[in-house]
Amino acid sequence: MARLAQTAGLTDVQEEILATVRTFVDKEIIPHAQTLEHGDTYPADIVDGMKEMGLFGLTIPEEFGGLGESLLTYALVVEQIARGWMSVSGVINTHFIVAHMLKQHGTPEQKEKYLPRMAAGEVRGSFSMSEPELGSDVAAIRTRAVKSGDGYTINGQKMWLTNGGTSNLTAVLVKTDEGADKPHQNLTTFLVEKPEGYGEVVPGLTIPGKIDKMGYKGVDTTEMVFDGFEIAADQILGGQSGQGFRHMMDGVEVGRVNVAARACGIAIRAFELAIEYSQQRRTFGKAIAEHQAIAFKLAEMATKVEAAHLMMVNAARLKDSGQRNDVEAGMAKLIASEYCAEVTQESFRIHGGYGYSKEYEIERLMREAPFLLIGEGTSEIQKTIISRGLLRDYQSRG
């Protein structure tokens, strides 16, 4: 059994879940990932398999039909799924974030309405903060919801929705007129129901189509355009406007643990491919793993995999304990994504010319790893979050 990225102190239930997922990844994801990824094909059969295992309800409380597992369990599951194919982990990531936001901040009626169907995979979640000219400045959101009768009318354009076309419930952060001095206090999260598909899916709401990406294929990434879209006031998450920024940041915080877990999964797979290939490929009369230059690469790669995994686990456990983990989640996301890119590139180098061939899995990982440097906030954003947290905790007394 592999010794890297093992997690101490897991319960028997957690161990059983991970063993089941690991087997599923080895049998149902890895053998098909190359073909599906190169064809940019949605992994429908794999998604159905995840539904049968209950993964869409992994963290949803048992009272709503879920498994009631922790963020740590979810992160370790994501790590395994991303080891097989990162796009599959993307299918459940946004779903999980929306379920978390509903669980933590939804009204009793919203929880009853959505969580049981989300646990069964019947309702699939996506979420949207970004806009075409927004970047990381969430407070500068332009998409606006204006009161109209008993509800609101939304106008504007959102960007970079993972599962935008295949989801049917989207948590959307928009600007509302709260009269607050601070921009982030004028933001509200709406729960937008829509059918799956593309084009004008309901009056006033258009999903233009899939964005063609360098990697992260299979899973759909889209825009979302509002043009006079009418929505009821009871679709405000938590029932109170002006709380959207706080709700979304809570979701993004667990999302950063998720991205760290995905980065760990890709790094683990890149290392597995490198250490296997290096023992098979021979030069100058011996396996290249026996050459010191390659052996040292493997040692450094394994160390980075282990360090990233431990930081990801720590951030997840802090969140599960109810403690603030913005700094730790930022650190985990920063180091895991950066190390993932480095480990993947080293694996690519070990493969030599074959690594540039689409026949080899490492070629796909080379296109997937860069996404994690950007998703849920760039490395520069993580450094901003980390430094602000450190300055908050280590205030000068001079």
Residue (of 93, 226, 252) closest to 158 by Cα position: 226
Which residues, 6+ apart, have CB-to-CB distance to 31 below 8 Å? none
Task: Give the integer Cα–Cα distance in Å for 332 and 7.
Answer: 15
3-state secondary structure of 203: coil
β partners of residue 125: 169
Residue (of 368, 373, 396) closest to 88 by Cα position: 368
- For the chain, the straight-line distance linking the first and the last C-alpha, in angstroms and rounded, comes to 53
Task: Give the integer Cα–Cα distance in Å for 112 and 390.
Answer: 39
3-state secondary structure of 76: helix
Q: 214, exposed or middle or buried, with CB in 10 Å at 0-12, 13-18, 19+?
A: exposed
**Active-site residue numbers?**
376
